[in-house]
């Protein structure tokens, strides 16, 4: 067998394994589990870290304040050093819209060893603890919630006995690049962290979607969050792992009526979103980076290359194996495209999108090794190896 035949056969084998043995990651039917209203609705404090979010707050904050929740609930927005009037705008929106009570605070600059968002979350949780809530809803400033979102999250947590319930907010797919890149982003995330495994007791797989995380207050204290994950750039995954390691039950699924209102109109916007944390996902390891690049090439790039090369050279084995792998790949991507209301003809283009993610990951490593670290909204985080130990 030639090298192209071996590569095509290896890619096909990888796709058959992913199809059948990776927690059915490609299915999009993992939604909030069946639930019933609790006899007594527990108290909830909503914590929103916000840094320079004036552009999106008018589309998101009113939806949080308007939650139709039968129990006691209030909102704590933490203005993380914004320069665009985020805090003042939040107060004005609360005055105009009414709804749940809103407190706006500011934590000051994060000390060494803390990422800015988690320092803001810590400040918000500390303020909320004065109200002695039973649950904390951690949500981002760009997330809009349906009126019954909080009610449904709490009911699911109480019915299922979960310590953390998280929903993957529906990201925008309005621009050309959003339609091409965003569904693939969620698809790749589910491939790394199959939702079915996350919610299954006894598994080590843990992840959350930072835009919408309902967390039991006692589970947060038991897991020592956010202090125990204070250096994390990918804070949502680190949070879920900390809760699960401390004995908590975790659930993650796709949302129907929890939406991100943040636009990513240009490829550069999406590129920055991925590149700022991709290398952190690989624990800043050159070995893991090399393995990831090789794996992405084998799984996503070999199928179309083998199909075309086999057809051109008359190598039927390579062409058939490559086409079969490409077909399985496209078939597993189709449900996510349907979830986002996108045309199915985008499915065969997944190798192209994967090549963009490969380049974004390499760029993330280049930025790291140039000393730029993980940059976000004017803040560059130190390399994790110089941060103090978690203890």
Residue 338 lies in a domain: yes
Q: What is the pLDDT of residue 340?
A: 97
Which domain covers residue 174, as residue numbers?
44-263
The H or E element spanning position 365 is helix 350-369
User: What mean pLDDT is reported for the chain?
Assistant: 93
Residue 140 lies in a domain: yes
> 305 Cβ partners below 8 Å, 6+ apart?
4, 322
Same domain, 211 and 341: no
| pLDDT(65) > 80 | yes
Q: How far apart are CA 318 and CA 307, in angstroms?
A: 7
What are 110-152's pLDDT values in tens digits?
A: 888 887 789 999 999 999 999 999 999 999 999 999 999 999 9
Same domain, 233 and 284: no
Residue 242 lies in a domain: yes
Residue 375 lies in a domain: no
- DSSP secondary structure, 266-305, as one string: SHHHHHHHHHTTHHHHTTT-HHHHHHHHHHHIIIIIHHHH
Same domain, 61 and 193: yes
CATH number for the domain that contains residue 113: 3.90.550.10
Residue 381 lies in a domain: no
Same domain, 217 and 319: no
Q: How far apart are CA 210 and CA 207, in angstroms?
A: 9
Residue 388 lies in a domain: no
Same domain, 342 and 197: no
What are 296-323's pLDDT values in tens digits?
A: 999 999 999 999 999 999 999 999 999 9
Q: What is the pLDDT of residue 252?
A: 98
User: What is the total count of domains within the chain?
Assistant: 2
Same domain, 155 and 278: no
Residue 30 lies in a domain: no
In angstroms, how far is CA 67 from the centroid of its own chain? 23
What are 200-249's pLDDT values in tens digits?
A: 988 999 999 989 999 999 999 999 999 999 988 889 999 999 999 999 99
Q: What is the pLDDT of residue 390?
A: 32
Same domain, 337 and 319: yes
Q: What is the pLDDT of residue 231?
A: 87
Average pLDDT over residues 86-105: 97
């Amino acid at each position: 067998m030639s090298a192209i035949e071996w590569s095509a056969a290896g890619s096909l084998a990888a796709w058959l394994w992913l199809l059948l043995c990776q927690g059915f990651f490609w299915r999009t039917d993992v939604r909030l589990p069946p639930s019933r209203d609790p006899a007594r609705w527990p108290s909830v404090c909503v914590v929103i870290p916000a840094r320079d979010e004036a552009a999106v707050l008018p589309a998101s904050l009113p939806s949080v304040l308007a939650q139709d929740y039968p129990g006691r609930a209030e909102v704590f927005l933490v203005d993380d050093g914004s320069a665009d009037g985020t805090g003042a705008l939040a107060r004005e929106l609360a005055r105009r819209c009414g709804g749940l009570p809103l407190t706006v605070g500011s934590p000051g600059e994060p000390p060494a060893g803390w990422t800015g968002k988690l320092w803001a979350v810590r400040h918000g949780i500390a303020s909320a603890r004065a109200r002695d809530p039973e649950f904390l809803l951690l949500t981002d400033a760009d997330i809009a919630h349906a009126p019954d979102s909080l009610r449904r999250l709490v009911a699911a947590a109480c019915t299922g006995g979960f310590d953390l319930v998280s929903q993957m907010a529906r990201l925008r797919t309005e621009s050309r690049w959003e339609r091409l890149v965003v569904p693939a982003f969620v698809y790749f995330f589910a491939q790394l962290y199959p939702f079915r495994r996350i919610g299954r007791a006894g598994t080590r797989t843990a992840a959350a979607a930072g835009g919408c995380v309902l967390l039991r207050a006692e589970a947060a204290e038991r897991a020592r969050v956010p202090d125990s994950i204070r250096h994390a750039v990918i804070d949502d995954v680190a949070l879920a792992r900390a809760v699960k390691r401390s004995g908590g039950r975790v659930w993650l699924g796709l949302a129907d009526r929890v939406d991100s209102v943040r636009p990513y109109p240009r490829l550069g916007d999406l590129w920055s979103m991925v590149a700022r944390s991709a290398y952190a996902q690989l624990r800043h390891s050159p070995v893991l980076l090399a393995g990831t690049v090789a794996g992405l090439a084998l799984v996503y790039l070999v199928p179309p290359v083998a199909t075309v090369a086999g057809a051109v050279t008359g190598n039927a084995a390579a062409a058939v194996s490559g086409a079969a792998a490409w077909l399985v790949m496209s078939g597993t991507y189709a449900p996510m495209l349907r979830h986002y209301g996108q045309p199915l003809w985008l499915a065969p283009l997944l190798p192209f999108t994967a090549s963009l993610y490969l380049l974004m990951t390499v760029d993330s490593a280049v930025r790291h090794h140039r000393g730029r670290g993980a940059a976000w909204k004017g803040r560059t985080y130190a390399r994790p190896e110089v941060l103090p130990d978690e203890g």
